[in-house]
Amino acid sequence: RSTPRGATSFDVHATSAVTVHMIHSPTTQPTINSRWPLDPDIEVAVTIDVTSRTVNDNKVKISYYGREGNELAVAWLYLTCVEISLDVDVSRSGRVKSKGKDKAKWTWGPDGQGAVLLVNCDRDSPGAGGTDSGQVDIRTPAGRVGSRGSPWGFPTSIPSLHVPRVPADLQDMSVMLLRTQGPSAIFAECQVVLHVPETDADKVRVFHAIRDDFQPHYKPVLGPDKLSYVLDHAGHGENTFYVEGLAFPDRGFSGLVSFSASLLEVPHKNAPGTPIFTDTVVFRVAPWIMTPNTQQPLEVFVCSIKQGLDSNEAFMEGLRVLLKKANCKLTVCSEQDTRSDRWIQDELEFGYVEAPHKTFPVVFDSPRNRGLKDFAFKKILGPDFGYVTREPPGNYVTSLDSFGNLDVSPPVTVRGKEYPLGRILIGSPLPWASGRRMSKAVRDFLYAQKVQAPVEVYSEWLSVGHVDEFLTFVPAFDRKGFRLLLASPNACYKLFQEKQRQGHGEATQFIGLKGSERRSIDEILADESLRSDNRHVQRCIDWNRDLLKQELGLSEQDIIDIPQLFILTESRADALFPDMV
């Protein structure tokens, strides 16, 4: 629009802070005196790396020339550079660095990038009714900030006598910094607005750390009921925000959430602003990660049953001796707390969440809801111990919703693809068959975590229907670092036949097993109905054997067959004697 009639070329000069970029095709070149032809394919871009001290303190001069080389006109472009930078821990180093690249991009893996957000699902606030994410305000007692080691090799805080006391709850959150710098006159006419998309707003909450008389307080500024926040006193440096996750990845929610900071030009007080610039960052909510039982145990939870004929005192005594040898903590759940429900493995599953700045365990409470229904919420949820649950609509559950039907493999590599956290195993019917299934709410949650891609194995042939009745993993010092143990009727018949040949056919089995008649090896081997039942069971287990070899990348050398017999009751199998559980 500023080009005069008759102009054929131009040149560009700028003050020292401005860099001029000429964008042109390879065939277009400047003349010997650095003038460019007025070609529509040429673009001129300017950048500034130094924040302006005053308005219009940078200039660009464009001179236009005619065919004879005479200057026909001059146009001046006045520039003011302001800094608007929204920053998060893109590099996953545990620290927020300024001017990160590709902040709106998130990629998986050790070489990936993108900030991580934790669901604030523990309870640091004493007396709070639920998890911290359910509290709109930060009301935790402050704790002294000290230097602690971290798995990433940096101190989580710097020790100092003058460091302000930070509420423990903030340590579960991710830091987001908004830097604004520039002439105050610009920010008097413009607004800086922090905002979140409506689709993400119910998944997160953001607190603004505001210093008042040297005492910081934390103002909730974004979340389920607030999509934007206008920054007061913009242009004066750095503002710190704390971001907490409110929801785990699930059906319809990938786990990605974004935040943006926009500079808006506002013509007058009540008018909507026009965006001049927007900076966007992306977080991924950390998935719930299940831990395999091949890892070193830290703590064992067990239910004490003292009343009645089914007392487990003998078992408890043996377990105490074992855990003392293993130097492992034992937590005994009283009969009053468990309401005489001993099957704690069916009620809950332990996992964890992890970000560069914080890791803590999270218990997943099943929708089974028997005697142990409230145990995880009342007794395990606490400071740095999170809680999550999923309830199916109408609370309709089957035996397959118990977490004895939920397992996870150790780390595996399958056809070149690595699963460094293992793969979750869920018991189900055959893929083409109807029958009992783990509720959709629980399966959707497990699939949405992504990092432990679930495998659905066939367990519905069992009366109870749990995967832990016929498989488990144990550590090993060679090969893949573990072995898969599979229940095997064939191995049991082979063992009994071997003992029969050795002259032990009359040896009595099932001594001390309540509800079962004592039978000799000869009688078991002669029972054709039992043998027929176990041929069917072996076929069911063999189907799983092939599936697990394929989906976990196993070979026969990775599997150990454990002698076990079953008996069919109305077409489903029960263990004839205590099985893999």
Q: Virtual CA dihedral for 132, 134, 138, 141, nearest 10 degrees?
A: -40
pLDDT digits (tens, 9 = 90+) for 223-254: 999 999 999 877 678 999 999 999 999 999 99
Query: What does the pLDDT average to over 22-35?
Result: 82
Residue 143: its pLDDT value, please?
Answer: 42
pLDDT, one tens digit per residue, over 211-222 is 877 777 899 999
Report the alpha-carbon distance of residue 260 to residue 356 in Å, rounded: 22
Task: Identify the weakest region by mean pLDDT among 179-193, 274-288, 531-545.
Answer: 179-193
In this structure, of 69-73, 94-98, 346-350, 456-460, the range with the lowest mean pLDDT score is 94-98
Q: Count Cα atoms within 13 angstroms, Cβ side, for 387.
A: 22
Of 89, 147, 91, 139, nearest in space to 118 by CA: 89
Q: How confident is the model at residue 350 (pLDDT cuts 50, 70, 90)?
A: very high
Would you state the pLDDT for residue 237?
83
The rounded percent of the chain whose pLDDT value lies above 70 is: 94
- pLDDT of amino acid 117: 97
Q: How many C-beta neighbours within 10 Å does residue 508 have? A: 10
Q: What would the DSSP string read from start to end of 139-151? A: -PPEE-------T
Helices 489-501 and 528-552: angle between axes, nearest 10 degrees? 130
382: DSSP letter: B
Question: What are the structure tokens assigned to 281, written together?
Answer: 């960052």
Region 60-89: mean pLDDT is 93
Q: Which residue has the tokens 């940096």?
A: 154
For residue 155, name the pLDDT band (cuts at 50, 70, 90). Answer: very low
Q: Distance from CA of residue 103 to its chain's centroid?
A: 19
Report the chain's mean pLDDT, rounded to a whole number. 89
Give CA–CA dist 246/196, Å, rounded.
Answer: 14
Residue 73 pLDDT: 95
- Rounded to whole angstroms, how far apart are CA atoms 208 and 218? 5
Q: What is the mean pLDDT of residues 347-366?
A: 95
354 in helix, strand or coil? strand
Residue among 69, 62, 87, 80 at smallest CA distance from 3: 62
pLDDT in tens, 90-144: 999 999 987 777 899 999 988 899 999 999 999 987 777 788 888 888 754 544 3
Structure tokens at 417: 């693809």
Q: Are 258 and 196 in contact (CB under 8 A)?
A: yes
Q: Is the pLDDT of residue 150 over 70?
A: no
> Confidence band (pLDDT; 50, 70, 90) for 151?
very low
What's residue 40's pLDDT? 84
Q: What is the pLDDT of residues 424-456, one digit of tens each?
A: 999 999 989 888 999 999 999 999 999 999 999
Query: Which of the residue ranges 44-48, 270-274, 492-496 has the most confident prediction, judged by mean pLDDT?
Result: 492-496
- 3-state DSSP assignment of residue 471: strand
- The fraction of the chain above a pLDDT of 90, given in percent, is 69
DSSP structural state of residue 157 = S
**H or E stretch covering 447:** helix 440-448
- Joined together, the tokens standing for residue 343 give 């099957």
Residue 500 structure tokens: 């029969």
> Domains in the chain, start-ordered, CATH in brackets?
7-79 (2.60.40.1860), 83-133+167-285 (2.60.40.1700)
Residue in the structure block whose two tokens are 């064992």: 300
250, 444 contact by CB (below 8 A): yes
Give the Cβ contact number of residue 249 at 10 Å. 24
| Confidence label for 565 from pLDDT (cuts 50, 70 and 90) | very high
Contact in structure between 344 and 334 (CB atoms under 8 Å): no
Alpha carbon 534 to its chain's center: 41
Residue of 175, 153, 185, 146 lying closest to 52 (CA atoms): 185
Q: What mean pLDDT do residues 188-207 have?
A: 94
Q: What is the DSSP letter of 376?
A: I
Q: Give bridge partners of residue 256 from the DSSP assignment.
A: 284
For the residues 402-414, what does the mean pLDDT come to? 96
Amino acid letter, residue 55: V
Per-residue pLDDT at 408 exceeds 80: yes
Most confident stretch, 23-27, 38-42, 155-159, 275-279: 275-279
Residue 223 dihedral angles phi and psi, to the nearest 5°: 165, -160
Single out the residue of 319, 315, 81, 277 nearest to residue 192, CA to CA: 277
CA angle 223, 226, 230 (to 5 degrees): 110
